Chains A and B, each alone.
Chain A
Amino acid sequence: MIYLDNAATTLPKPVSVERAVCRAMQSMASPGRGAHPPAMRAAETLFQCRSEAAELFHVPEAERVVFTMNATHALNIAIRSKAHRGAKVLISGFEHNSVTRPLADLGANITVAGRKLFDREDTLKEFQREIPRAELVVCTHVSNVFGYILPIDEIAGMCRKYKVPLIVDASQSAGILDLDFQRLGAAFAAMPGHKALLGPQGTGILLCGEEGLPLMQGGSGSDSIPQHMPEYLPDRLEAGTHNTTGVAGLLAGIRFVREKGPENIRRHERSLLELMLKELENEKTELFAADASVQSGVLSLRVRGRSCEDIAEGLSQRSVCVRSGLHCAPTAHRSAGTLETGTIRFSFSPFVTEAQVLSACQILREIIFKES
C-alpha cells in the first residue's frame, strides 16, 4: 500500500506510538481521579505531554495546553468562547468546515478575506483592510486542500495592532511548520494529534491564551462541590475522563517530531511534492502548485476530462490511498474555483519514500493515459 492521505490522518505511526498506546492501555487508569499508581501514571503521562507540547509550541505554561478529541473539538471550544450571534468574524478564503460551520451555527456575521490561492500579498492586503472592522479573526495556518501557507505571523501582528482576538487553525501545520504561540499572541490555537504530530485518532490540542468557555460540563477531578466547571485551565475545558491511551501515543508522536525536527520533516515532504510535480507535468493534469515559501507538502490536482472520484477510485484499486472531493473545505474550493469538481489530494509524512511517490505517479499516469 502507498498511503498518501496524510493530511487526513498520518499512517503509519511511529512504532513508539503503538507501543505507548499499548503500555497505557495495560497500565493506566483515570488521571486526576484517584491517587493510586495507575491513576498517577496516567496523570504523569498527561502532564508530560502538556509540557512537551508547550515546549514545541512555545506556550509559557503546561496548564495552557488542553486536550481535546480532535482539532474540530478544539476549534468549537475556541470559537464558542470568542464569537456570538451577529459578531463580525473575519476568516480567510481557505477555511475548513470545522471553522465555518460553528460560526454559521452561532449566527456570526462572516467576512471572507484573501481568496487568491498562494498569493500572500493579496491575503495580507485583504486582511489589512478588514481587520479594523472585525471583532474576531479565525485563520488557518495552512490550507488542508492546497497546502497554501498563509502569512499567519503578519496576520497575528495586525490582530495585535488592532486588538482583535485571533484563533489559529494549525491542523495542517502543527509538527511541520514553526508555530510560536507566545509570539503570535493568539487567543487560541487548535490542532489535531493524529496528523503531523503522529498521534492516534481521537486526540487534539487547544493552546489557550485565555481561559475560554467549556463546551461540556462534568467531572474534572477537582473542586467537585461547586456546580460549575473550575475557573482554571486545563480543568475548565476538560470534562470527563481523558483519552489517556491516545495522549500516551500523542506524547510519543510529539517526541518523534521533536527528535526529527519539524523543519526536516517539512523539507522531506516538500521534496516529495516537487518530485511529484516533475513526474506529473503533462497536458492532462492541472496541478495546484507554488514555491516552497507558500506551499507545504500537500498537492491538489485535477485531471482534465475525468472526475476526481474516478481517478481516486482507480488509485485505490491499485493500493494508492489519496483523497478526492471537497475535503470538507468548500470555502477553499470556492476561492480556488474548484468547487464544481473538487480535487485529488496527495499528502505526505516522514514515512513516505521517493520510491513510493514514483510508483504512485506511474500508476496515476497509467490511469490517465491508458484508461481514459
Chain B
Amino acid sequence: MTQYLIMCRSLTKAQSSARLLESAGITASVVKAPQELSGAGCGYALSLYRRFEEAVELLKKNQLLNGKLYRRSGGEGYTEVKG
C-alpha cells in the first residue's frame, strides 16, 4: 500500500488541512513528519493512502498547500513527488 505525505508548515495548518479534506470525504491523519523530511526540524504532515491527487488539488485551491509531497511504498524510503 502506498502512503502519501503532505508536509505542513505547522500543526495548526495540518489540522486545518485535515479538516478541509475531511469535509470532502478524504481521510487524512495528522502525523509528526519524519525528521529526515523536516528541513528545519520538527514538523507535521498529513498522511493519506487514497485520493492523493484529489487532496492536493483541494488544498491548492484553498491555498493550504505549502510543503513538499512524498510517497512511500512497501519497505522503500520516501520519494518526493510533484503536486
Q: Which 5 A-B pairs have the closest CB atoms?
A: A224-B41, A225-B41, A35-B32, A223-B40, A224-B42
Smallest Cβ distance from A77 to chain B, in angstroms?
A: 17
Known: A62-B16, A232-B10. 9 other contacts (CB 8 A): A35-B30, A47-B19, A63-B10, A222-B42, A222-B43, A223-B41, A223-B43, A224-B41, A232-B13
- Closest chain B residue to A64, Cβ basis: B12
Q: When chains A and B are docked, how far (Å) is the Cα of A235 from the Cα of B16? A: 14
Interface size class of A (residues with CB under 8 A): 20 to 34
Pick the residue among A40, A51, A63, A223 that contacts B13 (CB under 8 A). A63
Shortest CB-to-CB span from B36 to chain A, Å, is 13
A160 CB, nearest partner CB in chain B, Å? 24
Q: Which residues of A contact B13 (CB under 8 A)?
A: 63, 232
In the complex, the answer to whether B15 meets A235 with C-beta atoms within 8 Å is no
- A232 CA to B30 CA, complexed, in Å: 18
Report the minimal beta-carbon distance from A121 to chain B, rounded to whole angstroms.
42
Query: Beta-carbon contacts of A274-307 to B below 8 Å, as 1s and 0s?
Result: 0000000000000000000000000000000000
Q: Which B-chain residue is minimally distant from A230 (CB atoms)?
A: B10
Contact B11 A43, beta carbon cutoff 8 Å: yes
Contact A40 B41 (CB under 8 A): no
* Cβ-defined partner of A221 (8 Å) among B11, B15, B16: B11
Q: Chain B residues with Cβ under 8 A from A62's Cβ?
A: 12, 15-16
A185 contacts the other chain (CB 8 A): no
A59 to B31, CA, bound (A): 26
Contact for B15 among A35, A43, A223, CB less than 8 A: A43
- CB neighbours of A107 from chain B (8 A): none
**Using Cβ atoms and an 8 Å threshold, which residues of chain B touch A337?**
none
Asked whether any CB of chain B lies closer than 8 Å to the CB of A253, the reply is no
Verify A63–B12 contact, CB threshold 8 A: yes
Closest-by-CB residue of A relative to B15 is A47
Cα-based distance from A230 to B43 in the complex (angstroms): 11
Q: Is B44 an interface residue (CB 8 A)?
A: yes
Asked if residues B44 and A222 are in contact (CB atoms below 8 Å), the reply is yes
Say how far B3's CB is from chain A's closest CB, in angstroms.
Answer: 15
Contact with A along B15-29 (1 / 0, CB 8 A): 110010000000000
Q: Does A204 touch B at the CB level, under 8 Å?
A: no
CB pair A44–B15 under 8 Å, yes or no, is yes
| CB atoms of B40 and A225 under 8 A apart | yes
Query: In the assembled complex, which residues on chain A have CB atoms less than 8 Å from the CB atom of B16?
Result: 47, 61-63
A234 near B: Cβ within 8 Å?
A: yes
The verdict on A43 contacting B30 (CB below 8 Å), with A63-B12, A232-B10 known, is yes
In the complex, the chain A residue whose C-beta lies closest to that of B39 is A225
Please name all residues of chain B whose beta carbon is closer than 8 Å to the beta carbon of A261 when the two chains form the complex.
none
| 16 residue pairs bridging A and B, Cβ less than 8 Å apart | A40-B30, A44-B15, A47-B12, A51-B19, A62-B12, A221-B11, A222-B10, A222-B42, A222-B43, A222-B44, A224-B42, A226-B40, A230-B10, A232-B9, A234-B12, A235-B12
Asked if A50 is at the interface of the complex by the 8 Å CB criterion, the answer is yes
